[in-house]
Structure 1
Amino acid sequence: MAPETGASAGAGRAAGPGAVVAFVAVQALAFAAAYALGRPGAYAVFAVGSVAVAAYALDGSAFTVAAATLGSVLLVALGLPLAMFVARQRPELVAARALDPEVHRVLYLAVYGPLLAAAASLLFGVPLARVLADGFPGQALVESLVDLPLVVPHSVAGIVVLFGFGRGGAFPSLSVLGTTTGLVLAMVFVSAPYAVNATREAFEAIDGRLAYASRIHGASRFETFRRVTAPLAVRGMVTGGVLAWARAVSEFGAVAVVAYTVEFFYLPAGGSVRAQHAPVFVYNTYLQRGLAESGAVAFLLLVLSALIFLLVRHLTGDGGSTGGIAR
């Protein structure tokens, strides 16, 4: 019998679900205690140290302990502000904002607008991703154009959309400024790269022999796409759609330039209403009413976004994002 390798030995000591739950519970209790004592910064030291101890218990190698410890510093930098944000909310203020009809319209638009943008990104992004996965001359230029919005400053993106589609733009009869159309165009501009790139990676992960087998058995390229490659890449498409939706939800600069206040169809009212995109509304609330009021609205938006994100993850399963087959 072959001797046990380091990898298999580490896997043999992998933590079970109970240990993970216990670790998370300890972290929550430690943060609560540090916050109650007015020393939340002490929790950061505890969190990094506890991760180092857990890594040593699970693996024992110096490299793993060092990697886990350094990685935990980033996790603390991401998680501690969120924990502080939640802990400092005033329940009565959050409840009051949750019952505010104006906030209802803002949250509705925060789901409705980004959902339209994500759908448009997938509708036109999936065919583009399929072509990019196949490869063609000049592909690098197209990829650069797709990725360019990732590095364009947000306010610049809004200006670009107005120059392209606003008054005097490519479609003079198209109403963009302050409309749902402009809102969606601004969101698509900044979020489409996420949908295209995630879907392209899903197509690239599929074994090319499957498409080849489909073709030699008489299927057309469209039938091969519909019956073979698209079903295998569907998880990547969903991931791209979720990323595009999330990016659109968080967009501020481009939306503030193109559609600061938006008129849109509000289903509960059965007609058109006006509201601001959530990040714009949160910013205005901060300027006009202070940190506590804006924090309450931001908390509601954070909870809503997290619930939708978790729901989509649950519906699409826990597998890899590409949907490809194991090789």
Structure 2
Amino acid sequence: MATGTDTRLTLAAVSRRSLVATFGLLQATAFVAAYSLDRPTWYAYFLVGSVAVTAYALDGSPFTVATATVGSLLVVALGLPLFMFVARQSPSLIVEKALSSEVHRVLYLGVYGPLLAAVVSLVLGVPLAHLLAEGFPGQQFVESLVDLPLVVPHSVAGIIVLFGFGRGGAFPSVSVLGSMVGMVLAMTFVAAPYAVNTTREAFETIDDRLSYASRIHGANRWETFRRVTGPLAVRGMITGGVLAWARAVSEFGAVAVVAYSIQFFYPPAGQRVTAQHAPVFVYNTYLQGGLDESGAVAFLLLAVSAVIFLAVRYLTDDGGVGGMP
């Protein structure tokens, strides 16, 4: 039997959902109108103004109104280019690119290669993240080494990978330049910090008393990790893997240096084919075919990435995996 509190919470949730849906519909209508009139600047003004009015209606605090208004400026900077990008696409050109076997190979490689990099980042990064969460002598040096790819220019990252694993590098018998191995290494180099840092934060949020209770009941460190800390950090691991995958999907500079074009086994064709990582292919399409053709390919890559990203987020949402009941 529902209580009064449950009823109020349900009504509040419905009210919030209705408000969000109404606000979103209003924004979509305003953007379509401004775009139809070829006045996208009007929509930018409308967005900022509508956010300020909504904040005032919901809260009324000058502080909330000010922060919402200033924050909406960043939303304009991030969202308006994306809206314009989607609105200016040619449906016929998108269909043409979507039916192209060359684009199919690029999209397959653009998802499959980053997935391998994300798996490698997690397999090697989770143990390191656990150690960093517990702490050890010299930890600051290791932390700096893990975070270094975040500040290294992308093309420099590719050069570093070639020096480390290319000819005369750590594994001279492994072909790196222009190979799937090199592509995955380049992606792992730039994506691993996201997997390690996010997983580490998940381990750090776990109450130490849970591990202590497991140990005093006879479990060793491996059993404690497998039965207690590991399952509690699963959501953080998955989030780190998704972020690493997303970072690898978007990588251009390092991949362009290490593996500009690669040969790989393409299951639909049943043989090895040659293709480029999606960002590299989009750039080449832009140079050869212009903004419209590159935009169509970019739209397809964005759509595929968004669907996968949202699906994983949905499956790992509250009540999905990890966490305490």
TM-score, normalised relative to structure 2: 0.94
Q: Secondary structure at the match of 2:206?
A: coil
Amino acid in the other structure paired with 2:160: V
Q: Distance in 1 between matches of 2:14 and 2:46?
A: 22
Q: Does structure 1 conserve the Cα–Cα contact (< 8 Å) formed by 2:231 and 2:323?
A: no
Amino acid in the other structure paired with 2:47: A
Q: Distance in 1 between matches of 2:13 and 2:163?
A: 59
Q: Distance in 1 between matches of 2:198 and 2:319?
A: 15
What do residues 138-170 of structure 1 show as CA deviations (whole Å, max 9, x unaligned)?
A: 101000000000000000000000000001111
Does residue 29 of structure 2 align to residue 35 of structure 1? Answer: no
Shift of 1:109: 0.2
Amino acid in the other structure paired with 2:159: I
Q: What RMSD over aligned residues (CA atoms) do the two structures have, in Å? A: 1.6
Amino acid in the other structure paired with 2:309: F
TM-score, normalised relative to structure 1: 0.94
Shift of 1:324: 4.8
Where does residue 242 of structure 1 map in the other structure? 242
Q: Distance in 2 between matches of 1:211 and 1:204?
A: 12
Q: Secondary structure at the match of 1:63?
A: helix
Question: How does 1:152-163 map onto structure 2 within 5 Å?
Answer: 152-163=152-163
Question: How does 1:3-42 map onto structure 2 within 5 Å?
Answer: 16-42=16-42
What do residues 270-321 of structure 1 show as CA deviations (whole Å, max 9, x unaligned)?
A: 2211100000000000000100000000000000000000000111114799
Q: Distance in 1 between matches of 2:39 and 2:126?
A: 49
Amino acid in the other structure paired with 1:276: Q
Q: Percent identity?
A: 75
Which segments of structure 1 move beyond 3 Å, counting only runs of 4 or more? Answer: 12-15, 318-321, 323-326
What do residues 42-74 of structure 1 show as CA deviations (whole Å, max 9, x unaligned)?
A: 100100010011111111101111111111110
Which blocks of at least 5 consecutive residues in structure 2 are unaligned? 1-11
Where does residue 3 of structure 2 map in the other structure? none
Question: How does 1:56-67 map onto structure 2 within 5 Å?
Answer: 56-67=56-67
Kindly tell me the number of residue pairs found equivalent between the two proteins.
314
Question: How does 1:228-307 map onto structure 2 within 5 Å?
Answer: 228-307=228-307
Shift of 1:325: 4.8
Q: Does structure 2 conserve the Cα–Cα contact (< 8 Å) formed by 1:182 and 1:259?
A: yes
Q: Does structure 2 conserve the Cα–Cα contact (< 8 Å) formed by 1:13 and 1:58?
A: no
Q: Does structure 2 conserve the Cα–Cα contact (< 8 Å) formed by 1:110 and 1:278?
A: yes
What do residues 204-263 of structure 1 show as CA deviations (whole Å, max 9, x unaligned)?
A: 000110000000000010000000001000000000000000000000000000000011
Question: How does 1:304-315 map onto structure 2 within 5 Å?
Answer: 304-315=304-315
Does residue 188 of structure 2 align to residue 183 of structure 1? Answer: no
Where does residue 203 of structure 1 map in the other structure? 203
Which blocks of at least 5 consecutive residues in structure 1 are unaligned? 1-11
Q: Distance in 2 between matches of 1:272 and 1:237?
A: 33
